[in-house]
Amino acid sequence: MTTPTSDLLLDPYDYDFHEDPYPYYKRLRDEAPLYHNADLGFWALSRHSDVLAGFRNSTTLSNKFGVSLDPASRGPHASKTMSFLAMDDPAHLRLRTLVSKGFTPRRIRELEPRVTEIATQHLDIMMEKATGGTVDYVNEFAGKLPMDVISELMGVPVEDRDQVRAWADGVMHRDEGVTDVPPAAIEASLNLIVYYQEMVAERRKKLTDDLTSALLEAEIDGDRLTDDEILGFMFLMVIAGNETTTKLLANAAFWGHKNPDQIAPVYTDLDRVPLWVEETLRYDTSSQILARTVEGELTLYDTTIPDGDVVLLLPGSAHRDERAFENPDDFIIGREIGAKLQSFGSGAHFCLGAHLARMEARVALTEMFKRIRGFEVDEASAVRVHSSNVRGFAHLPMTLKFN
């Protein structure tokens, strides 16, 4: 059931697709649930049940070459920057289990008061700037908080955090038409890795109570993480933990603005914030496209996908599948989502940072809504990020109404 239809095109690098991928996804689900793009060299799965099965099939659909379509990010070297996300079992299970000894739910819980403080500091500055009119929510808040939280977790000194955040932004930035990792991003990556190497070396001499030290101490039956493995995980946090949470915060604000009837009850009942976060994760997830590599061969829809081919899983499409959700194109805070959410994947590679992302988003939006009674996004001036796998805003100017 692949499609020869010439006018049905999925190009993850196309700017029109970035502006609104959902009409493309609908056509894929209806006309080509197994889609093949021979020019760009990938297959794609778009229906909820197929994407979920894809996430859970970690034997035939391998992670070992990474999860990005970008050529420079793919290949046997992918685990150097993507850690266990670019590995299969048993290597994946070993590394994930060791990392989990340091990156515990308890550590995330204990971090919450500091996350609240960091959010409050950024909000104070944003509110002050907003008194003069429009303020960029991404520049002042959504783009700063997640990386600062990761730095807090890792033990990066406060005075270094602006620089570390700038490098992290540099790692992710792509100019128009660029389909591969540009030299500036490679330079930013090297700067970050050198910085983290020095940090790990310092902790080897003197342990502290941060995650970097906990990773150095993590041990199972005499097996420990190497410095390279720790660096790989720290880099994964920058890419996967920073970028996606920034996008989540901005997407939540944007769709809240577009659906005032849904957001109005949140002002008087802050317990609804987690529901707002979940519906944002479903309706317009940060992480839209994840790549896998076929190991052996895979037969779907009477078509055999050969060994070594790339299959894209499209959780962004799965969440708008009317086969899984009623009125999927409506933004409804409080709808029943449960285990149908695929923003954090599923199965063996379920996102280790899901707790952290949800906690950050809850704290950030709750603290913001304690202080305002309304906001308006300047849609005409909003700028989307152009990326082959994440969706969100580079700039989201807004005006705030204060309590």
pLDDT of res. 3: 45
Q: What is the 8-class DSSP label of residue 339? A: G
pLDDT by position in tens, the chain (length 403):
444 455 788 999 898 999 999 999 999 999 999 999 999 999 999 999 999 999 999 999 999 999 998 887 888 888 988 899 999 999 999 999 999 999 999 999 999 999 999 999 999 999 999 998 999 999 999 999 999 999 999 999 999 999 998 898 888 766 666 666 788 888 999 999 999 999 999 999 999 999 999 999 999 999 999 999 999 999 999 888 888 999 999 999 999 999 999 999 999 999 999 999 999 999 999 999 999 999 998 999 999 999 999 999 999 999 999 999 999 999 999 999 999 999 999 999 999 999 999 999 999 999 999 999 999 999 999 999 888 888 999 999 999 998 7
| Distance in angstroms between the alpha carbons of the first and the last residue of the chain | 56
User: CA 309 from chain center: how many Å?
Assistant: 24
Rounded CA separation 43/310 (Å): 6
Rounded CA separation 28/25 (Å): 5
Of 18, 19, 34, the C-alpha closest to 8 is 34
Contact 293, 310 (CB under 8 A): yes
Alpha-carbon separation of residue 28 from 31, 53, 187 (angstroms): 5, 17, 37
Alpha-carbon separation of residue 359 from 15, 79, 156, 219, 245 (angstroms): 31, 27, 20, 27, 10
pTM of the model: 0.94
Architecture of the CATH domain 15-402: Orthogonal Bundle (1.10)
Contact 137, 257 (CB under 8 A): no
Amino acid at 333: I
- CA torsion sign for 66, 67, 70, 73 is negative
Question: 3-state DSSP call for residue 14?
Answer: coil
Contact 388, 12 (CB under 8 A): yes
The secondary structure element, H or E, covering residue 148 is helix 145-154
The residues, any chain, with a CB within 8 Å of residue 104's CB and separated by 6 or more, are none
- CA torsion sign for 24, 29, 31, 37 is positive
Please, what's the b/e burial string for 146-183 (b: 16 or more CB within 10 A of its CB; e: otherwise)?
A: bbbbbbbbbbbeeeebeebbebbbbbbbbeeeeeebee
